[in-house]
Structure 1
């Protein structure tokens, strides 16, 4: 450092022990120490809360560093900058003189710069005949060089804390979303349990989240939400196990009743006829007993030959070509047998898998098959899968479409066309 001795401020500005400590620290710069002034400034910006400086004070420091002649700060190149208040104000985005003085004092108190005042308080430098600066009076940036390692460590810690807070916020957001949707599913599916009490607990946890939160405040809330989510998942898993047992029993009973080996729906025995087939009960009077005839009797859509649809059942809903359905809903291809869909039977099999994955209850899907026809119900499931991110409750949405179909208020065409346009020319097509 150029001074080599303690310097006191000019005029009425008092001396303080902090200023004395900063001057002593500035004397401890290691030989050959140098730092990029702009990298060091960015580190100061990262560590601003720990250093106790304001953003406006950093604006003044930025302006001061522009007067340092080199990109690297080092003792060999001098550590004093001596701009006038007028020039400093211009580079500080037109800051007024009073505000400028106030923020310079903040930088001095924070131990980032030192004052080296001349006898008359002016800032200037004495140069020799070769133009080399001999002695300068102004602001010393020696503390920046002396505290470079400390500042860099504080900046790294600030970045790590910010990343940790971001990660905790993300986990909390996902946990909130999971709990909210799982509770909604439990209400919709009428799962047994104290869901009102769980909802109250969830709202209480949400009310504890502050608007401006720290990692220390969010971590215990996240832990409690994680426990609540685990409890909810446990209750729902119990319900799933119960449904699997009921489904297995129903499937065993179905195999005892059904005489049609080509069933395309394991859950809906009354929809085992493919599109385009005609009813066999009228053509073959001796086809078998009434129960067997009922299982073989198809639900006729309005576009099928061989009979009129029941207006009250909504089976006059038009079905569309399979290729168009797959063009609009390429996502369903992954759930077909072997990852492909080559016919309506494959699509309906894939729809049963997707129905379970989306959380649509068997009863809701059975009602859709009754109201729309099995091909159209499978098509709607494919559409719901394609729009999964925009539908909060697939089961409720399917029930609503079924009711609208029965009233003659719903058509699949506009939904398919919208998805075709959304997928564009790069959509996957049926092989």
Structure 2
């Protein structure tokens, strides 16, 4: 632990209340707190925007950490490093002395390090007879260790927001492509409606896309694009059904026969699938062959009309269902709770680090399954932690199965719900 007395700055630098509060916060380290200094530094880099530090300041922090002899920062050991300006400049990629002092001040202002000045302002350590350090003067890393939990949560939230923003940009690209091509299809098919007005609405929505997109600015744009796309699909489906009905009525009239008036072939249109069956009348008393909604009908002179495909969305599971099946994940959300998908993805990144799942494995799962599904899988892995030897290997295996369309979230969630509720288990048997 760091000493409890207050250190004032050397020379003409004044002592302020803010400096006193930062020193006290740096001393407030829970007992037995340890962190890998390089993993913690990676979290600081991830949370750079939230900590308001520059990349050059992080270069200086990297150099300071390299002077700490142990791999783990520990509250039970000394956390003061005491490099000279010349040594620190060399490890900071040859940074000039004036620039070095400026970025050290940025790190102190951000509450990541603090000064512990000696009586003469020099940085050094006094060793005892056993060779250990009795007293050291320089820069203390205690504030960094004290804020480790806060920094990790901030980094996880920023990483989750970045993944969500990337997924939203991908959806935006798909919606733009779909909507533009659907409008072109409506114009070519001469669909009843004001296509010019729809095209104008589409371009007005695109004009609202900002250059520097954020989750908050993209969300309403995506909602409007999805609504417009759905409206055009419904309009095209209605147009296709009306043409099918018109074609079917003309074919029914051609197929009516004087005998066998109760035959199904006289009351139902026949759906032909082969070119050789075009124009062939159904046999009396036989049921016409129906190939389902994907069949194609032939009008007069062999013209063909394809039925518009149905738009099917993948089955999704509500957030409440995921939390009911995997309640342990809520302890790792911001403030110990999960109120949204963003909170769930933030908690999943914290759990990923805790279970030693590599970032590459989680990014691959997010790319294949989607950010929400990958976060749900991490929640399931946490819930079944005692049954899984290697969380990272298990996640990679599920990702490979998902690429082959051999994995679904439903059975995994249902199994967890049955394990928690005997009533659900009896209902499913």
| Structure 2 partner of 1:265 | 275
SS at match of 1:115: strand
Structure 1 residues 242 and 267: alpha-carbon distance in aligned structure 2, compared to 1, 3 A threshold: farther
Report matched runs for 1:292-303 at 5 Å. Answer: none
TM-superposition CA deviations, 1:269-293 (whole Å, max 9, x none): 5xx9xxxxxxxxxxxxxxxxxxx9x
Matched with 1:70 is 70
2:35 match: 35
Across the aligned residues of Structure 1 and Structure 2, the Cα RMSD in angstroms comes to 3.4
- What's the counterpart of residue 50 of structure 1? 50
- Partner Cα separation in structure 1 for residue 92 and residue 254 of structure 2: 82
1:202-213 equivalences in 2 (<5 Å): 202-213=202-213
Which residue is equivalent to 1:109? 109
Structure-2 change in CA distance of 1:263 and 1:72 (3 Å): closer
| TM-score of the aligned structures, taking structure 1 as reference length | 0.60
Map of 1:194 onto structure 2? 194
Contact 2:187 2:195 in 1 (8 A): yes
Pair member with larger Rg: 1
Contact 1:10 1:119 in 2 (8 A): yes
The alignment partner of 1:138 has SS state of strand
In structure 2, the partner of 1:127 is 127
Partner of 1:276: none
Provide the rounded CA distance (Å) in 2 between the counterparts of 1:363 and 1:115.
Answer: 90
Instruction: Give the Cα separation in 1 of the matches to 2:89 and 2:300.
Output: 74
Structure 1 residue 176 corresponds to structure 2 residue 181? no
Q: Which residue of 1 aligns with 2:311?
A: none
The structure-2 alpha-carbon separation of the partners of 1:265 and 1:14, relative to structure 1 and needing over 3 Å to count, comes to farther
Contact 1:251 1:267 in 2 (8 A): no
> Could you tell me which residue of structure 2 aligns to residue 340 of structure 1?
none
Partner Cα distance (2:300, 2:23) in 1: 80
Aligned to 1:10: 10
Q: How does 1:223-302 map to 2 (within 5 A)?
A: 223-252=223-252, 255=255, 264-265=274-275
Q: Tell me the number of residue pairs that the alignment of Structure 1 and Structure 2 aligns.
A: 286
Describe the SS at the equivalent of 2:275. coil
**CA shift for structure 1 position 254:** 5.8
Structure 2 CA distance for partners of 1:366 and 1:117, relative to 1, 3 Å? same
- Structure 2 residue ranges without an equivalent (≥5): 258-271, 282-288, 305-429
Q: Hey, what's the Cα distance between the residues in 2 that align with 1:363 and 1:118?
A: 99
Distance in 1 (alpha carbons) for counterparts of 2:79 and 2:299: 78
Partner of 1:167: 167
Q: 1:59 to 1:245 in 2, by over 3 A?
A: same
Q: Partners in 2 of 1:364 and 1:211 — Cα distance? A: 53
CA shift in 2, pair 1:365/1:78, >3 Å: farther
**Residue 217 of structure 1 corresponds to which residue in structure 2?**
217
> 1:195: Cα distance to partner?
0.9
**1:263 CA displacement:** 9.0
Q: Measure how far apart 1:146 and its partner are.
A: 1.1
Deviation at 1:76, TM superposition (A): 2.4
Gaps of 5+ in 1: 273-291, 293-336, 338-348, 368-431
- 1:234-271 CA distances to partner (integer Å, 9 max, x unpaired)? 211110111211232344356579xxxx99428965xx
SS at match of 2:243: helix
The offset of 1:174, in angstroms, is: 2.1
Q: 1:216, CA displacement in angstroms?
A: 0.9
> Cα deviations across residues 19-40 of structure 1 (Å, max 9, x unaligned)?
2111011221112111111111
- Counterparts of 1:80 and 1:183 in 2: how far apart (Å)? 66
TM-score (norm 2): 0.60
Counterparts of 1:355 and 1:173, CA distance in 2: 31
Counterpart check, 1:22 vs 2:22: yes
The answer as to whether partners of 1:267 and 1:366 remain within 8 angstroms in 2 is: no
**CA separation in 1, counterparts of 2:150 and 2:99?**
28
Give the Cα–Cα distance (whole angstroms) in 2 for the partners of residues 16 and 266 of structure 1: 93
CA contact under 8 A between 1:67 and 1:81: conserved in structure 2? yes
Q: Give the Cα–Cα distance (whole angstroms) in 1 for the partners of residues 253 and 52 of structure 2.
A: 75
